[in-house]
Structure 1
Amino acid sequence: MTAPALSVESLSYGYGRGAFALQDVSLAVEAGSFTALLGPNGAGKTTLFALITRLFESTSGTIRIGGVDLRAEPTRALARMGVVFQQPTLDLDLTVRQNLLYFAALHGLPRRTAQARALEALERMGMAERIDETVRRLNGGHRRRVELARALLHEPALLVLDEPTVGLDVPARRAIVEHVHDLCRERGIAVLWATHLIDEIGPDDRVVVIHRGRIRAAGPVGDVNRDAGAETLTDSFNRLIAKEAA
């Protein structure tokens, strides 16, 4: 059997003095699936992403990317993943092209290959004509598109995005959500998308509800609604959070 694009098993992480940000978290993201990690602010989403991207390291539990153990083979595992962090990470004084080619060079891509992939990724998002503009001149939505293009240059099998639409207006949010769903359908990329915005999750997506560092529900949206006895994901989420509070 093919290994999941991402497998997290029995993962815990604490910040000291018995305060756990994550407790016994397990989840899987399959190839071609859009999996939304849904939780309120402070639920543990960003901590989980920091562990998956190896900004943090936990001695408890296992993270595998495409079957490769992140702790045992970090370079090989991380090479299979593209990342869009919550905070912008582009160099504002470089052009779009320079930002993309610098990242490609870090992954060892030949310059000609990098140029072609950068242009292709930007064309898919209607950004090709902005390639020689400095990032500083772009609005927030366009900067996010560049970060997404950058994350795809090395053709990862897994794309992880931590609250990627924070601060964007509704049209910009919708465009990025739709584009990432298209990547799943058309290119078979596995996506883990952290959000606290339920309207970013489609009826055919998978959802993992996290609250206070624990997984409260996981599965296709329809299954989560059925198990929660609710008709909408909003109602399911509210019931799961209220149940925990009680």
Structure 2
Amino acid sequence: MTQDQEAISQAAGIPALAVVRVSHSYGKRKALDDVSFDIESGSFSVLLGLNGAGKSTLFSLITRLYATRDGTIKIFGHDVTRESGEALRRLGVVFQARTLDPDLSVMQNLIYHAALHGIGPREAKQRAETVLAQVALADRVADKVRNLSGGQMRRVEIARALLHNPEILLLDEPTVGLDVKARADIVAHVRSLVANHGIGVLWTTHLIDEIAMTDQVMVLHKGKILANGTAADVIAGTGALDMRMAFAKLTGTELGE
């Protein structure tokens, strides 16, 4: 997203992502119950919840893997149901499950993905070099994915999600299975995208140490949003000493390490 694009969106008061009264059920089990929140351009926002809270279901609705039946979801004002093409081209996604081809090189993975967005090989190579530099992997373009570490694979997936110049990036538990240093590196890289390129980020996690006090935090528990504000405001609003205690007070459960 260019600075001019960001300024126009902000001036118009249009959220990067608007989720309005969204519900979703699997048979009789309600996975999401009247969920609403906005994500602003150039912000790092966190959807905090335990496994099974409904985070992945919400991502599936935003990305149109599931159809939205109750409520609306808009990306920069474009309804994902009625204007899916316009909405989704503004969106980059990193899912929890790994989806790279381990037998292809880093560059081959990115060029293949770019083709799915209608980007030709020459432009795809240029874009791939640019986004790999953004995630500090410019020196691994020829390496097969299977020879990368878990953290490096995640950074390739982030680079891949940036190929079509999205204005908002969704990451679903992107640090699951990584060691402490790799987790910290991924968080730092994504925060740098927000600071340096104005990309809006929705980051789902159950890990408290990935949250900064100035982040917008939505606490999702059993399909419901129980709190929505900066981490500092959520803590103050619950009378807690820290985010871990605030989560426990709101949900009656403890977050794991």
TM-score (norm 2): 0.92
Structure 2 distance, partners of 1:68, 1:199, is 33
Structure 2 distance, partners of 1:113, 1:208, is 38
Structure 2 distance, partners of 1:9, 1:139, is 38
What secondary structure is seen at the aligned counterpart in 2 of 1:204? coil
Report the CA distance between 1:217 and its aligned residue: 0.1
Identify which of 45, 52, 72 aligns with 2:62: 52
What secondary structure is seen at the aligned counterpart in 1 of 2:22? strand
Report the CA distance between 1:127 and its aligned residue: 1.1
What secondary structure is seen at the aligned counterpart in 2 of 1:2? coil
2:242 counterpart of 1:235:
no
Identify which of 5, 10, 15 aligns with 2:26: 15
Structure 1 distance, partners of 2:126, 2:235, is 43
What secondary structure is seen at the aligned counterpart in 1 of 2:252? helix
What secondary structure is seen at the aligned counterpart in 1 of 2:218? strand
Deviates most, 23-32 or 133-142: 133-142
Report the CA distance between 1:111 and its aligned residue: 2.8
**Paired residue for 1:91?**
101
Q: Provide runs of 4+ in structure 1 moved above 3 Å.
A: none
Identify which of 135, 140, 155 aligns with 1:130: 140
Deviates most, 106-115 or 131-140: 106-115
**Paired residue for 2:124?**
114
Structure 1 distance, partners of 2:133, 2:82, is 37
Deviates most, 229-238 or 193-202: 229-238
Report the CA distance between 1:125 and its aligned residue: 2.3
Per-residue CA distance 1:158-191 (angstroms, 9 max, x = gap): 1000000000011110001011111111111010
What secondary structure is seen at the aligned counterpart in 1 of 2:73? strand
Task: Read off the aligned partner of 2:129 and give its amino acid letter.
Answer: L
Per-residue CA distance 1:142-166 (angstroms, 9 max, x = gap): 1101000000011100100000000
What secondary structure is seen at the aligned counterpart in 2 of 1:191? strand
Per-residue CA distance 1:57-85 (angstroms, 9 max, x = gap): 12100000111000001111111000000
Report the CA distance between 1:106 and its aligned residue: 1.2
**Paired residue for 1:214?**
224
Structure 2 distance, partners of 1:161, 1:56, is 17
2:107 counterpart of 1:100:
no
What secondary structure is seen at the aligned counterpart in 2 of 1:109? coil
What secondary structure is seen at the aligned counterpart in 1 of 2:70? coil
Structure 1 distance, partners of 2:206, 2:138, is 31
**Paired residue for 1:175?**
185
TM-score (norm 1): 0.96
Deviates most, 130-139 or 150-159: 130-139
Structure 2 distance, partners of 1:50, 1:112, is 32
2:7 counterpart of 1:36:
no
Structure 1 distance, partners of 2:238, 2:123, is 48
CA-based RMSD of the aligned residues comes to: 1.1
What secondary structure is seen at the aligned counterpart in 1 of 2:219? strand
Task: Read off the aligned partner of 2:159 and give its amino acid letter.
Answer: A
Structure 1 distance, partners of 2:198, 2:225, is 26
Aligned length, in residue pairs: 242
Tell me the percent identity. Answer: 53
Query: Which runs of 5 or more structure 1 residues have no equivalent in the other structure?
Result: none
Structure 1 distance, partners of 2:165, 2:68, is 27
What secondary structure is seen at the aligned counterpart in 2 of 1:10? strand
2:80 counterpart of 1:67:
no
Per-residue CA distance 1:7-51 (angstroms, 9 max, x = gap): 00000000012x100000001100011000000111111111111
2:159 counterpart of 1:152:
no
